[in-house]
Structure 1
Amino acid sequence: MSDSGQAKPLIEVRDAARWFDVSAPWLERVLAGKPRSMLRAVDGVSFTINRGETLALVGESGCGKSTMARLLVGLYPLTRGEIFIDGESITELNGPKGPSLRRRLQMIFQDPYASLNPRWRVGRIIAEPLKAHTKMSIAEQEARVDELLKQVGLDPADKSRYPHQFSGGQRQRISIARALAVRPEFLVCDEPTSALDVSVQAQVLNIMKDLQRDLGLTYLFISHNLAVVHHVADRVGVMYLGRIVEIADREELFNNPRHPYTKMLLSAIPDIEGQGKSRTPVAGEVPNPLNPPSGCTFHPRCPHAQPLCKQAVPGLFRTDKSQVACHAVEQGWVLETDALPRSGLLSH
């Protein structure tokens, strides 16, 4: 399913699912007569990412964003479905084609300190992918490390220091340099700025945008911060309980959200300019993912829920400018809304 309708996407995800068995121990289940319990962290997700663009995934905690990120880089196996990079299945990551595929996709993690080996100097950390995936000489590795440090705004002399000697923002720059070492095409960014101060977030995001422009990178950007998403994304996918409920271009999604859940998320953005923006609070609690509601899992919180919503799982319905998994939108129960007033938080 290509969203561009033109060029072949770099990344294609088809009906991806990842279930975790969280059952009690076998004997306990047998004695108590308990069935197996499965957590459907990702359950039937499909999307594409075109070359050079940034697709952001947003949603409340526990919606499956980070699980989807780990599926894309092969850290979790798929329960079902397929994921392709430029037409090649990532199931080959553990096969003969694994080394060449791993060079094409890398990941930037949320916590830059936890993802860097504290016992290694920065030069060794950044050079490790080069040792694993290339036949560079020591001198060539040193030159490449120096080049990467300059690209992320650090001094080549920093390669002799340890991660604890850097600030959080500097450590994340080191993580970015390591991810770029083998010249990947695709980066999965799992909340890469959420652990940083606001002022530092902007610096790191600007570096990432510059690198994307200069190197032709493609990003999947995971975040719960809608202001950050508005700054970096070309398209936005909204996830709820393991499924995508809406995908649209950034401006379309922020100015004309279609799914009731998307509208609730955007209404929760702080209005720092004091414009008196009307709000629809995100009602209710996220259901227990071990026992999700039938049909559309959002229906217990949805102001437009109908009997059909409790019975059938909605597929992604294509509108003029977006894709929405909502019976109410598809059946015309929800009228078009006026564009939401943008808060000052999103005006930059």
Structure 2
Amino acid sequence: MFVPGLSATLGRQEIILGEGFIIGDLNGFVSPAVFGGDLSARLSTDALRFDYKLATVPLTLTGFVAKIIENYATVSPPPPAIGIDTGLDQDLYGINANYQVPTAEAEVEGYFVSLNNAHATKNSANELSVQTFGARVAHEVAATPGFSWKGEFAGQWGKTAGLNNKGYAGYLGAEYAFQDIAWEPKVGLTYYHFSGDNDATDNTDNAWNPLFPDAAGDRIGAIVDASGLGATGWGQQSNMQVIKLSGSIQPTEKISISLDWFNDQLVKPAAGEKKELGNEIDLNLGYAYSEDVEFGLTFGYFVRGSAIKNAVADSADAMQIIGSVAVAF
């Protein structure tokens, strides 16, 4: 564009902020009509985005507006109501600032995101205006080669269907890559927290309302993410706390192996409900066939906890095997 360092993108595109904890998969959660939606690679939406890289400091500013949901006019009862748009569009606005710390292997990021119904009405059931703000830090510690840590925290306010939103979410994690050892082993530990509602009878919703996160299965477990139990706060990154322990090795240049363990618990269980959702183990195998083609195989096993056993009498442990092919063009 005419301003040095400024670029604009208009049309179908992906928008990922940081690790995708808040914004990454702009298609939202899986529609009931789409089976296996958690496996979809479609992350993009129609948006206008501006990026501005400052010349004097390592700072990048990003602003965007996206049409997340678009409902078209529907045929209604006889005149004069024909052609009235009975649906509601949803728009997403956001600004993001990313700063690369020049004196360390670190980056600091701050953002503000607003999700709104495009046409406000007096019907509180159609009310949607949720603002989310947060900050993220990632640091590779030079004094301890191979050690890195990361953290992110976000808070929400606004209104949804007459309820005042006051949720929050965040994570804190660390990873260590062993130095000068064959197979390049790595170990990591991360804690995730998504707030739950304190009182379902009042007009305040303290639960975290997830917007459009990416790679949710890497945070709460692939099976839990695909469980479809969002109505009770399971598998939707809300009312949950998760401990993730991970490890990986690289036996050859082309082969990678990783193992992840997730302990999932409810934060605010309902009356008579247990806290423990369960434990999941995911084994991931990767084979880089070439620079552009990579094959993957994932085996996951979920052991249900007391919360699921009590809520679903005939429940059973779950497992899945997923094969994948990634092609870069």
More strand by share: 2
**TM-score between the two structures when normalised by the length of structure 2:** 0.29
Q: Which has the higher contact order (CA 8 A, sep 6+)?
A: 1
TM-score by length of structure 1 reads 0.27
